[in-house]
Amino acid sequence: MNRPGEALVAAYRAIACDLDGVVYRGARAVPFAVSSLQASQAYTPVVFATNNASRTPTEVAGQLEGLGLTGTGADAVVTSAQAGAALLRSRLGPGAVVLAVGGDGVAEALADAELRPMRTLAARPEAVLQGWARTVTVADLADASLAVADGALWVATNTDLTLPTEAGVVPGNGTLVAAVASASGRRPLVVGKPERGLYDTVAARVGVPVEGLLAIGDRLNTDVLGAMRLGVDSVWVLTGVDGFAELAASDVVPTWALPDLQGLLCPPVEVSGSAPQWSAGRVTARLLGDGRVTINGADEYAVHAPAVAALGRAVVLALREAGDRHVVQVGVTFDRALGALREGAPGQYGGTDPI
């Protein structure tokens, strides 16, 4: 619980922060993410927990350092490949031969867990660890399918269907896993979010109970759902894949909604009111019926975007709980409002004209 005037992050014993769509998109930093996380380290440890298994923790830490997040070593990065390797080690013991599908992060995680990563079927693998990489080929998927169909223990690092990059959203590991499942007729064990493996590993690494974590992510059905399942508070940051329209269509409840990570260093925005009108700071949202809503007083991003994000969360969750058939339309309006603020063109959301 935050004390009055206290930064949001100050109430937590450690942060488990997602990467893709939260800290960076491909090679580019998400605006405000690096400076906000650097400052957050003065309050509590920050560990980066990612479903993306393509790279090694050392490579990820190098990118973070290159973006300006100083003092971040490989021990501050937890990948789903590491969680997958730990599971296989626990099931098979050291020395087991594992078909490594994915990038260097998969093979290194297996080797670090004292398993024997192989890239072909020649060594008759006992298991398959499948993660995403741009270099994964049809031949890799064919080998994985044959091994799995032959009885190999199959672990998928994650099943995210998409991956945000600087060029846009591309197919994620879930699409590759679906191909192997279709060919083999089997389903994998999954270790990435929303399963608990990554969050448990973060908590163990910093020596705190998992309940003391603050989970940060952009995806509702992985980052936030995983936190919900563990009873962990979550920050849903609106810089990646999901927006309010997706929140409206889901059954996930984030603890906090932020337009970007600057909100970690500020007191949580309080929302008051109930249908048909809510307020946060100097911003109000009023329902007009038939899915129409006005968002008034939002004209400056740095000041008002946190209020719009908090209002969007509160309004969409209230309408969702009430079974309002216009909830997705209202969610789209909040997405548009926040986008207009980011682009410096918020005028259409001021005044009293319905949107």
Contact, 229 vs 31, CB < 8 A? no
3-class secondary structure, 97: strand
Q: Which of 201, 118, 200, 218 is CA-nearest to residue 160?
A: 218
CA distance 193 to 84: 12
Cα distance between residue 262 and residue 85, in whole Å:
34
**Length of the chain as a residue count:** 355
How many whole angstroms separate alpha carbon 159 and alpha carbon 162? Answer: 9
H-helix or E-strand containing 71?
Answer: none
Phi, psi of 219 (to 5 degrees): -100, 130
- Smallest CA-to-CA distance from 48 within 193, 164, 258 is with 193
Q: How far apart are CA 191 and CA 249, in angstroms?
A: 25
Per-position DSSP letters for 209-266, written without gaps between them: -GGGEEEEES-IIIIIHHHHHHT-EEEEETTSS--HHHHHTS----SEEESSGGGGGS
Q: Catalytic residues, which ones?
A: 18, 20
For the chain, the straight-line distance linking the first and the last C-alpha, in angstroms and rounded, comes to: 36
